[in-house]
């Protein structure tokens, strides 16, 4: 690292890792519930486990993005962060809000809107928290010595993500309007502005790790931003097929969301070609593996498996089934979990001065977690496709079908165990790095 204030990123990364572990725990609770072992039902009913699992996911990813920004922005702007105490207060309030929300879910304090379950009063705290964050990194960039495309796209992505949280806070009497605007948050985050955050973090990592010129890498970033906006905005229509909106959304949603995989194909090619073009073989090879892996797996999970159910002709059968969970897992993993884990793998040696990136632990962490997640995706796919057939084609009752497919959840649990071994190794590696140190600061470090 080049600036002392970058050390604050560590707090966010450690929080990310901790919440990821908790998220996995709730995944297992649901996995076992699906095979009939819902023993915790009185304390953690399925709805509470599900809300906790998905909200913890969102918070650990946001914490990872925030940590990444606190690390990247000083380096891109070539100055210290304007306020480290403000960053620490912001971190603490993020922890308080998420802990309160998670505890609340267990006491039935929640809004039953998938992914936006956090109760309204806490939403206002989220807004204050995010304003503090955007203010801090925004001012740092503003007062910086240089403006880079990477830094600007990152800030644009984070700021638009903050603004897009607001439509989810409006109250409607109509279920249709509520659902319509819920997608402005959920869809326009993951298939819109989060792609800018992902693209810019990948750009930063590729610049640092491959030795390819910044100009070349940032030109690609423009292409990705362009493709994202071209397809992702009107692509929101793929959620409007069956919620009571006008029929033209079937055409608009189908066509534009059908183009969305292009942006993810761009990310995959970005990673693969830049890492091949760079003459430099980075010392920290595992960080490059996570970076390139992120591009590739996001294309598979979001691009390929997203396309698999995005056309209205298909979605009319798959909507609201485990086919969605199949896609949701690999898309979130490939795109956003992997980009955060790539950034942490890159930043830890820089923050601590310890080079623990070689050896079997980080390598096995990468492979077992990825193979485990592909296995989980396969289990959800088999369960989901069978569900579609039995429920939607044969007309069997929902619960009868759930029983028939429960065997596939044993497969899910086995694959999830492999995945968890991988994450366990990653966490072990993270802990071994220890805390960030001032001695690790290299003022003249690479640009």
Q: Please identify, using beta-carbon distances, which residue of 95 and 233 lies nearer to Fe ion.
A: 233
Using rule CB under 6 A, residue 303 touches ligand HEM? yes
d(CA 144, CA 365): 37
d(CA 41, CA 43): 6
CB of 183 to Fe ion, least distance (A): 7
Q: Please identify, using beta-carbon distances, which residue of 191 and 350 lies nearer to Fe ion.
A: 191
CB 415, CB 383: distance < 8 Å: no
CB of 296 to ligand HEM, least distance (A): 13
d(CA 120, CA 170): 10
Listing DSSP states for 302-370 in one string gives: IIIHHHTTTSHHHHHHHTTSHHHHHHHHHHIIIIIIHHHHHHHHHHHHHHH-----SSHHHHHHHHHHH
Q: Please identify, using beta-carbon distances, which residue of 184 and 290 lies nearer to Fe ion.
A: 184
d(CA 176, CA 243): 6
Using rule CB under 6 A, residue 327 touches ligand HEM? yes
d(CA 96, CA 132): 15
Q: Which does 192 bind (CB under 5 to 8 A by kind): ligand HEM, Fe ion, none?
A: none
Residue 403: CB atoms within 10 A of its CB come to 11
User: Which member of 90, 179, 210, 257 binds ligand HEM (CB under 6 A)?
Assistant: 257
CB of 17 to Fe ion, least distance (A): 28
Using rule CB under 6 A, residue 53 touches ligand HEM? yes
User: Which member of 332, 357, 426, 433 binds ligand HEM (CB under 6 A)?
Assistant: 332
User: Which member of 2, 214, 285, 319 binds ligand HEM (CB under 6 A)?
Assistant: 319
Give which of 57, 68, 132 is closest to 94, Cα–Cα.
132
Q: Which does 208 bind (CB under 5 to 8 A by kind): ligand HEM, Fe ion, none?
A: none
Q: Which does 261 bind (CB under 5 to 8 A by kind): Fe ion, ligand HEM, none?
A: ligand HEM
Give residues 382-411 in contact with ligand HEM (rule: CB under 6 A): none
Using rule CB under 6 A, residue 260 touches ligand HEM? yes
Q: Please identify, using beta-carbon distances, which residue of 76 and 195 lies nearer to ligand HEM.
A: 195
d(CA 25, CA 373): 15
Query: Which H, E and C letters describe 115-180, residue by residue?
Result: CCCCCHHHHHHHHHHHHHHHHHHHHHHHCCCCCCHHHHHHHHHHHHHHHCCHHHHCCCCCHHHHHH
Using rule CB under 6 A, residue 271 touches ligand HEM? no
First to last CA, the chain: 11
Q: Please identify, using beta-carbon distances, which residue of 310 and 420 lies nearer to Fe ion.
A: 310
User: Which member of 9, 11, 19, 57 binds ligand HEM (CB under 6 A)?
Assistant: 57
CB of 187 to Fe ion, least distance (A): 4
Give which of 312, 327, 358, 216 is closest to 264, Cα–Cα.
327
CB of 50 to ligand HEM, least distance (A): 6
Which residues contact Fe ion (rule: CB under 5 A)? Answer: 187, 191
Q: List contacts with ligand HEM (CB under 6 A).
A: 24, 27-28, 30-31, 34, 50, 53-54, 57, 114-115, 186, 190-191, 238-239, 257, 260-261, 298, 302-303, 306-307, 309-310, 315, 319-320, 324-325, 327-329, 331-333, 335, 337, 412, 416, 419-420
């Amino acid at each position: 690292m080049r600036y002392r204030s970058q050390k604050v990123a560590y707090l966010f990364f450690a929080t990310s890792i901790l919440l990821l572990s908790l998220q996995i725990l709730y995944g297992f609770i649901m996995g076992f519930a699906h095979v009939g072992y819902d023993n915790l039902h009185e304390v953690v009913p399925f709805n509470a486990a599900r809300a906790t699992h998905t909200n913890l996911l969102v918070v650990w990813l946001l914490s990872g993005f925030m940590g990444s920004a606190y690390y990247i922005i000083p380096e891109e702007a070539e100055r210290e962060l304007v306020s480290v105490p403000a960053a620490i207060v912001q971190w603490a309030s993020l922890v308080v809000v998420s802990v309160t929300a998670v505890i609340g879910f267990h006491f039935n304090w929640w809004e039953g809107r998938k992914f936006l379950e956090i109760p309204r009063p806490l939403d206002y705290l989220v807004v204050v928290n995010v304003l503090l964050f955007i203010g801090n990194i925004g001012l740092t960039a503003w007062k910086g010595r240089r403006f880079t495309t990477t830094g600007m796209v990152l800030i644009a992505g984070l700021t638009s993500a903050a603004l897009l949280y607001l439509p989810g806070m409006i109250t409607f009497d109509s279920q249709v309007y509520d659902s319509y605007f819920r997608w402005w948050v959920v869809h326009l985050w993951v298939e819109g502005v989060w792609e800018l955050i992902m693209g810019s973090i990948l750009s930063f990592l590729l610049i640092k790790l491959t030795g390819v010129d910044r100009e070349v890498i940032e030109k690609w970033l423009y292409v990705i931003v362009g493709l994202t906006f071209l397809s992702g905005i009107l692509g929101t229509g793929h959620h409007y097929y069956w919620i009571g909106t006008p029929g033209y959304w079937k055409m608009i949603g189908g066509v534009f969301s059908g183009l969305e995989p292009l942006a993810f194909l761009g990310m995959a090619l970005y990673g693969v070609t830049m890492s091949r073009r760079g003459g430099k073989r980075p010392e920290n090879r595992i960080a490059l593996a996570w970076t390139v892996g992120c591009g590739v797996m996001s294309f598979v999970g979001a691009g390929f498996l997203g396309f698999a159910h995005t056309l209205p002709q298909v979605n009319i059968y798959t909507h609201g089934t485990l086919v969605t969970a199949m896609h949701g897992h690999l898309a979130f993993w490939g795109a956003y979990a992997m980009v955060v884990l790539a950034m942490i793998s890159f930043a830890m040696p820089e923050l601590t001065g310890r080079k623990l990136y070689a050896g079997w632990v980080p390598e096995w962490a990468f492979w077992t977690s990825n193979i485990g997640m592909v296995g989980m995706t396969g289990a959800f796919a088999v369960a989901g496709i069978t569900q579609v057939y039995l429920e939607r084609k044969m007309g069997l009752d929902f619960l009868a079908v759930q029983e028939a497919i429960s065997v596939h959840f044993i497969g899910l649990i086995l694959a999830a165990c492999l995945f968890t071994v991988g994450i366990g190794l990653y966490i072990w590696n993270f802990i071994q790095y220890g805390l960030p140190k001032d001695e690790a600061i290299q003022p003249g470090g690479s640009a």
